[in-house]
Amino acid sequence: MTSDEQRAFGARVAELRNDRGLTQSELAASIGRTASWLSQVERGIQPVNRLPVLRLLADGLGVPLQALQADAPTAPTRTEASEELKPNDLDHARLVISGHPAPDVLLQPRDDFRPETLRDLRTAVEKVWELTHSNQFAQLSATLGPLLPRLERASRTASEQHRPELNALLARTYQALAAAFVRQDEADAAWVAADRAIRAAELADKPLDALASTYRLAQAFVRLKRLDQAEHVATRAVEALQRRVGDSDGTPEELSVLGSLQLLLATVYARAGERTSSRDQIAHARATAKRLNQDRNDFNLEFGPTNVEIQAVSTAVELGDAGEALDVGEHIDASGLSIERQARLLMDLGRAHAQRRQFSNSLDCLLKAEKIAPEMIRSHVAARNVIRELMLVAGRKASPELRSLAERSDATP
């Protein structure tokens, strides 16, 4: 947009907002942005060039996309917000966490835990995280069906000697489930799982596990577009960790949690369009990663120098800085991280190429990501949005590869 076009666009947004009796704060909150960002849009200072942001603004105002930008592509007939509910790979896990986790024990307390089963439970929880990192959500849901009730009962019926470890295993299991729910855009269920993880970690007397669970809670708030809640939760946790670590080196585990929370804050600010704050958090995370000086997987957070750069790519894409995202991304070797992290990098590079209208490169990245993590690309909101955008731009000229990917991902316009 030219400066004149930006001012005209901003005036149109303000007019539509006033017609609907909305304040800037109300509209901004409904679309997961800040009032200051919206004020800059309406004054013609902040451009809105990206289709997903334009569509988000149109949805918040309750108008067609073309009411804001006449030459915008025709909106898809089914959006993420209005799609009918359809079966999800984690539907069974969602049922399992509904209601009280162990009503039978609540009504009839008993001591039936057998300590010799601890080894099997430890192995099962490790398997849960393997499935989560590899995005095998259907198998994860099937595994959690019997495991979660078993852990919940055991944590209540075991002797005091074994309860701390059982609660620690329960916290790790709920953390995995919260992470999986976020990736499948089941943020309300992720909220429940993360909250239970925090409680179980407290009962286990594992404060760092509790803060790692808080990270999962903040992720759920981001996906729910409750950016103020995500910022509040993550900021309080960061402040508590910084007070604990102080000027000392800190343990690797403490640094892993601290850095992960800083990266999450970078995402929060990027989603809110607060460029400076987002970049500041990336800089803080880089400094924390430098103190750690290695890639680790404490609490399954995969924090370290490599993951910081992957997140730098992601936040640059969120901010519309596609060139920066591609410059950073081409120097990253993510082969030592999980399949999920590798696929996430490829997905974000695909988004960056789409922003630069390098559509063949974008499709190539998405196909590579699908090859290593098919369930992630077919269920992740960001991936489906960019696939849908590629289809809208290509129209009837869409290649067979793109059409096939869109069909597999249920992302056809």
User: What burial class does residue 238 get, using C-beta atoms within 10 Å of its C-beta: 0-12 exposed, 13-18 middle, 19+ buried?
Assistant: buried
Please give the CATH architecture assigned to the domain spanning 3-67. Orthogonal Bundle (1.10)
**Using one digit for the tens of pLDDT, what is the confidence trace for 210-228?**
999 999 999 999 999 899 9
What's the rounded Cα separation, in Å, for the pair 139 and 132?
A: 9
409 close to 387: Cβ distance less than 8 angstroms: yes
Domain ranges within the chain, ordered by starting residue: 3-67, 86-225, 227-234+246-337
Q: What percent of the chain has pLDDT over 90?
A: 54
HSE-up (13 A, CA, CB side) for residue 215: 32
What's the rounded Cα separation, in Å, for the pair 375 and 409?
A: 9
What's the rounded Cα separation, in Å, for the pair 289 and 89?
A: 34
**Using one digit for the tens of pLDDT, what is the confidence trace for 129-139?**
999 988 888 88
Please state at what angle helix 252-271 crosses helix 227-245, rounded to 10 degrees. 150
**Using one digit for the tens of pLDDT, what is the confidence trace for 29-74?**
777 677 777 888 898 888 777 777 787 788 888 888 788 877 665 5
319 close to 267: Cβ distance less than 8 angstroms: no
List Cβ neighbours of 71 (8 Å cut-off, separation of 6 or more): none
- In the structure encoding, which two tokens stand for residue 344, read together? 């996430």
HSE-up (13 A, CA, CB side) for residue 39: 6
pTM of this structure: 0.78
Nearest CA to 409 among 382, 349, 178?
382
pLDDT at 87 over 70: no
What's the rounded Cα separation, in Å, for the pair 254 and 202?
A: 16
